[in-house]
Structure 1
Amino acid sequence: MPREIWLVFRRHMAVSLRNPAWVIVGLTQPILYLVLFGPLMERIVSSTPGFPQGDAWQILTPGLLVQLSLFGSLFAGFSLLADLTTGVLERLRVTPARRLSLLLGRVLHDTVQLLVQAVILILLAVVIFGLRAPLAGIALCLTMVALIGITLSAASYALALTLRSEETFPAVLTSISTPVLLLTGILVPITTNLAPHWLYTLSRLNPFAHVMEAQRATFRGEYTVDALLTGSVVLVAITALTIWWATTTFHRENA
């Protein structure tokens, strides 16, 4: 199976390397937030009570990494719909490759692509805006970004195979991603002192809000159980759930 995963990964990576513009396109929106919203965030953090610990860049940068993950990995299913339309997936069905390998090779490619973008974004925040974060915290945060990428990429492929429609797919994704993004608190953290009670309670139902808190804790160098346990457990659980969903969908649709 590892060789099969590698072959699928290499095929998709070769396509990406022939068109490296994907790096810049995916980073455009987070960089704009970094440049145009970051300076405002510095003033907001210094003058508004209720923000979590850490400076503006320790709060904003992890949020932008989650945004990058959502808008990158969650739309990965478009490539699968294209393969369905052109018959590529039909040809892959007759190969000896396991269905799980066809899925994991794609997911691995999407995750590597996401990590490259995440590293570039962090480097820009460090070099240009003076982000201060421990290397261990950055490494732990990137691990969480990778798991988010795996989760959303797998979910996107499962949803694409379920809907099988290039018209319906983006509409469903937008209706899902917008409330998830807003309730994660990527720009302004949703805390008890900042948000009304109903909004804070609603955000607790969003698993990525807990992951967001854990990522911000890593950028502060806070590695306690209270800071990381909930977000880490939630992230591992939803990753396992989406991999199971995607695997089941691949087996059913490619039987």
Structure 2
Amino acid sequence: MSAVPAVPPPASAETQTEAEPDGLRLLLTPPLARTGWQVVPARVVAMCVVELQKLRHDRSELYTRAIQPALWLLIFGETFTRLRAIPTGNVPYLDYLAPGIIAQSAMFIAIFYGIQIIWERDSGVLTKLLVTPTPRAALVMGKAFASGVKAVIQAVVVIVIAALLGVALTWNPLRLLGVAAAVVLGSAFFSCLSVTIAGIVLTRDRLMGIGQAITMPLFFASNALYPVALMPGWLKAISTINPLSYQVDALRGLLLGTSDHLGRDFGVLVLAAALAIAAASSLLGRLAR
């Protein structure tokens, strides 16, 4: 009889692990899941990418949203520059107006952002997001800074229009980065304010009505169109607590070099955005119910 070949004993788990290539080991071993606040940067980036994809598929939104600021600069700005009815010192009125129109355009985009949250609630998307381990504040921040992406693109359009009209704007890259930061912070505040209102009223119709009711008062109770010194006392008090005033002041200081309060302006914008994010996060669960 022929001898039966000996069967080698099975390799131990440690031997198999050592024999496996590093790449195969990575495929078989799942990475550690991100938990808690580790997902915040990823969520913010993901939301911003989604907004950019929307704009890539539908560029008409950029063109239609550029009409209103162009009309403000072409009609209102050019007319009052010729009339010299609003004293703005050594700065031409059109130059003075341009940063205010940038802030106005960003606010008009962000203030109705709560409608998207309500649509996601109605379609079931919001409920799916809330059952993930992502913190609610991270979801709100993702939405807030995604609205800032649209606002920055809108700001670029307004700056180009203003430059074509002869507005003396700075082209310093660091100052332009500061402009983008101010626009994003202002948009974060107003979009979270919109989400907060959505969490209170719960319906799109009510949100539309309230949004339309507060946009123009916020705009006219700021220094976007005229200096604070020209306002009556009661309007000055409102302008002092209006975040839009600090955003306009920051944009004016960065683009025209007319403000020495950039630290104060950005401090107020950061505080306002943080408070708005906290308020929207607390009401996000109520919106999903």
Q: Same fold (TM over 0.5)?
A: yes
- 1:152 deviation in Å? 0.9
Counterpart pick for 2:272 among 228, 234, 238: 238
Q: Which residue is 1:75 aligned to?
A: 112
Deviates more, 1:49-58 or 1:116-125: 49-58
Contact 1:77 1:160 in 2 (8 A): yes
Amino acid across the alignment from 2:217:
P
CA distance in 1, matches of 2:171, 2:144: 26
Question: How far apart, in 2, do the equivalents of 1:162 and 1:119 lie?
Answer: 33
Give 2:182's match in structure 1, choosing from 144, 147, 153: 144
**CA–CA distance in 2 between the matches of 1:28 and 1:163?**
30
2:252 to 216, 232, 237: 216
| Gaps in structure 1 of 5+ consecutive residues | none
| Superimposed CA distance per residue, residues 39-80 of structure 1 (whole angstroms, 9 cap, x where no aligned partner) | 113223xx3474244222321110101110111111111111
Aligned residue identity for 2:202: R
Question: Residue 51 of structure 1 contacts residue 191 of structure 1 at CA under 8 Å; is this kept in 2?
Answer: no
The Cα shift of 1:95 comes to 3.6
The structure that has the greater radius of gyration is: 2
Query: Shift of the alpha carbon at 1:223?
Result: 5.5
What does residue 40 of structure 1 align with? 79
Measure the CA separation in 1 of the matches of 2:142 and 2:242.
28
In structure 2, runs of 5+ residues without a counterpart are 1-38
CA, structure 1 residues 52+202, in 2 after alignment: closer, same or farther (shift >3 Å)?
Answer: farther
Match of 1:207 among 235, 243, 252: 243
Say if 2:46 is the partner of 1:7.
Answer: yes
- What are the residue-to-residue correspondences of 1:103-252 with 2, within 5 Å? 103-126=140-163, 128-136=164-172, 137-187=175-225, 189-192=226-229, 194-222=230-258, 224=260, 227-250=261-284
1:245 offset after TM fit, Å?
Answer: 1.2
Number of equivalences: 248
One-letter identity of the residue aligned with 2:268: V
Deviates more, 1:134-143 or 1:240-249: 134-143
CA distance 1:223–1:186, shift in 2 (3 Å): closer
Alpha-carbon RMSD across the aligned residues, in angstroms, is: 2.4
Q: Deviations over 1:90-116 (max 9, x none)?
A: 233334444333222222221111101
TM-score w.r.t. the length of structure 2 is 0.76
Counterpart of 2:102 in structure 1 is: 65
| Sequence identity percentage | 24
